[in-house]
């Protein structure tokens, strides 16, 4: 159980995440609860399709406990609903799926020889929508923000991945209002605003 926020479980569609202190007693209590659930509902969990994740334990101890109770041992980094589930600080490596998705979009669009105006439209609508979900969940590292901005800037100015050409205008100027820029959001400020929203929702 996550004591600070009194979190015991999360449920989405047919997925269930149950939290425990990870001790042998905690796991045994969890198994008793599942047995009671089976008795009441007639539904039985399949340990071979379940994964257990431990924090703060050595690898050998995690393997022993998982085997003792018949669960598959899960390893971080794991993705759920498109974003990583992590036990520590978010890193650039953890955000690589987001970067890879953006690069894949760029490669598919570059083959279509879009106009400058078309590039701007795609960045404003598609690229930002890709980052929006991540920014609503995590405070992204500045290195990730810079990489996203680099990809967007290069795409607008037609600079292909791996080329040493430079964008005509620095990204920061593109976030100015449309009278002097292109009106793009400042991603770092927007990410902070998304995180502040969580405080407001839980106040």
pLDDT digits (tens, 9 = 90+) for 40-95: 988 888 877 888 888 777 888 888 888 887 888 877 667 777 777 776 778 888 88
Closest among 94, 106, 95 to 153, alpha carbons compared? 106
For residue 143, the model assigns a pLDDT of 92
Q: Where are the alpha helices (DSSP H) in the chain?
A: 24-41, 59-69, 96-110, 116-122, 128-137, 142-156, 171-174, 187-201
For residue 203, the model assigns a pLDDT of 66
For 143-200, how does the pLDDT look when each residue is reduced to its tens digit (9 = 90+)? 999 999 888 888 877 765 544 455 667 777 777 777 767 778 888 988 998 888 877 7
For residue 44, the model assigns a pLDDT of 83
Encoding tokens for residue 120? 């701007």
């Amino acid at each position: 159980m996550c004591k600070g926020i009194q979190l015991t479980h999360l449920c989405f569609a047919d997925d269930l995440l149950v939290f425990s202190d990870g001790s042998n007693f905690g796991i045994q209590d969890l198994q008793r609860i599942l047995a009671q659930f089976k008795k009441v509902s007639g539904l039985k969990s399949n340990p071979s399709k379940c994964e257990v994740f431990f924090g703060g334990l050595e690898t050998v101890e995690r393997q022993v406990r998982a085997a003792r109770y018949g669960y598959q041992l899960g390893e971080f980094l794991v993705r759920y609903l498109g974003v990583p589930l992590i036990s520590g600080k978010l890193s650039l490596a953890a955000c690589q799926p987001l970067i890879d998705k953006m690069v894949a979009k760029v490669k598919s669009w570059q083959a279509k020889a879009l106009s400058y105006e078309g590039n701007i439209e795609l960045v404003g609508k598609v690229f930002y929508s890709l980052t929006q979900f991540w920014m609503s969940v995590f405070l992204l590292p500045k290195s990730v923000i810079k990489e996203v901005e680099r990809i967007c800037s290069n795409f607008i100015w037609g600079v292909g991945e791996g080329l040493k050409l430079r964008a005509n205008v620095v990204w920061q100027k593109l976030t100015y209002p449309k009278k002097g820029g292109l009106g793009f959001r400042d991603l770092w400020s927007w990410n902070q605003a998304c995180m502040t929203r969580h405080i407001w929702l839980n106040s």
